[in-house]
Structure 1
Amino acid sequence: MTPQDIVDFLSQQPEFFVDHPELLSTLTVPHPLSGQAISLTERQLLNLREKLGQVQGKLAELVSFGEENDVIAERVHRLTLSLMTAPEFESVNFAIYNHLQEDFAVPHVALRIWNSILKRPLPEFIEVSEELRFYAADLRHPYCGPAQNEEVLAWFGESASQLRSMALIPLRRDAQIFGMLALGSEDPERFFPEMGTLYVERIGDLVSAAVLRHIG
């Protein structure tokens, strides 16, 4: 008889240990850590404790994610209120930089707007290349990853050489792209390709709507 024969037999006879309960306490197997002989019942309890520990770990992870999402949602809410109550573009501009840098702890923020009916003598309205406009128009979702777009890096001035990751968020008027919000960090893991972009996209929608309300 092979070990597989025993496995097959026990699988086909689920009542075997019900009919022979004494075997559960008399048969022994090695403890997974100490190697000491323990009963099948004790081994089963160890398995259950291990599974329970895994479930508790997953639950703690989900609770942590939920709490983190609550914090981000509250920050987005504060940004929304500031953008909604901003009386002119300059106030919108201040709210964008202030909330992203102070509330979201994004160290470097840059905004560029093109195809605007009204312009301002501000860095946000400096012309961008046609190549960048095409690049922004091709983005279906925000770019998150290494800081490697040279034109966008130049928006950050002297800090550009320190940046290791960035998020590039296209600003939309319906299907048309009219600008870009860029977030930069010295941390290469702050913005990465596999990260979720739900809140990043929502921030882009909020900024787009607030900017359009004042400059058309």
Structure 2
Amino acid sequence: MTIEKVEDSPLTPEAVRNYLRSNPEFFIENSELLNTLKVPHQSGGAISLLEHQVHVLRDRNKEFHTRLDRLLEHARDNDHKFQQTRRFVLSALESQDLAELSDAVERSLYDDFGVEACSLILFSETPIDGCRAERVIDANRYIGTILTSQKAICGEFPANEMNWLFQRNGIRSAAIAPLQQLQLLGVLAVGHSDANFYRSGMGTLFLNYVSEVLQRLIPDLANRGA
């Protein structure tokens, strides 16, 4: 197959491009031309079309391996988080009372997830052995706007709210999940001294999952101790 030049239609680069687009099999039938064609290279020189294709395929192969490595890294990270979450859930389910539950939550968050600060606060009009218990009226006084959220929220919060939640100074950002099942049961919070560590809008899937587990366990364990 050849390109015929019409006398009244001069052969232009655009005409060649259009012909090759319309005849993609051209180089299959004229493969001997591949080694004679030259294309620019990043080095500034010219290489044959076959060499160019080899470079393109090599670059695509590198890109593919980079993407594959990234996917494998995410898979390993997700598997690690799954194992951590599994240990947390099993530990929580084995708790016999609220004190054991509180201890399991803090131990998991500190040891498995490596949080800098965490706080599980249960709402009660009377003290609860082995747990931090606060009256709802007091919680509303300090973190009332946070307790209106239906899901976990992240970001930088006022110092007085952080100090009340964590009972320590220096916590600048936090991820906070109100615990409610028909009524407010408490609040779970993790914090960090870096104001940008827990950013507004970041994912809260894990904290929401943990809070859902706690919301189902707390009423049952509270009834056991009544």
Instruction: Tell me the secondary structure at the aligned position of residue 129 of structure 1.
Output: helix
Unaligned runs of 5+ in 1: none
Higher deviation after alignment, 194-203 or 49-58: 194-203
| CA distance in 2 between partners of 1:56 and 1:3 (Å) | 37
Q: Is the 8 A contact 2:149 2:178 kept in 1?
A: no
Whole-angstrom distance in 2 between the partners of 1:43 and 1:13: 20
Q: Which structure has the higher relative contact order (CA within 8 Å, separation 6+)?
A: 1
Match 1:215 to one of 215, 218, 222? 222
- Among 173, 185, 190, the residue aligned to 1:165: 173
Q: Which amino acid aligns with 1:96?
A: V
- Residue equivalent to 1:88: 97
For residue 179 of structure 1, the aligned residue among 164, 180, 186 is 186
C-alpha deviation, 1:88, in angstroms? 1.1
1:1-216 aligned at under 5 Å gives the runs 3-32=13-42, 34-114=43-123, 116=124, 119-120=127-128, 122-126=131-135, 127-129=138-140, 132-139=143-150, 141-145=151-155, 147-154=156-163, 155-159=165-169, 161=170, 163-173=171-181, 176-188=183-195, 190-215=197-222
Q: Could you tell me whether the CA contact under 8 Å between 1:96 and 1:207 is conserved in 2? A: no
> Is this contact kept in 2: 1:112–1:125, CA < 8 A?
yes
- The alpha carbon displacement at 1:51 in A equals 1.4
Q: What is the RMSD of the two structures over their aligned residues, measured on CA atoms?
A: 2.5
Give the Cα separation in 1 of the matches to 2:125 and 2:216: 15
Q: What is the Cα deviation at residue 181 of structure 1?
A: 0.7
CA distance in 1, matches of 2:179, 2:32: 72
Matches of 2:27 and 2:179, distance apart in 1: 67
**What displacement does 1:113 show?**
2.7
Stretches of structure 2 that go unaligned for 5 or more consecutive residues are 1-10
Query: How far apart are 1:201 and its partner, in Å?
Result: 1.5
1:117 deviation in Å?
7.4
What TM-score do you get using the length of structure 2 for normalisation? 0.80
State how many pairs are aligned: 209
| Preserved CA contact (<8 Å) 1:111 1:181 | yes
- How many percent of aligned residue pairs carry the same amino acid? 27
Secondary structure of 1:168's partner?
strand
TM-score (norm 1): 0.84
Whole-angstrom CA distance in 2 between matches of 1:194 and 1:52? 35
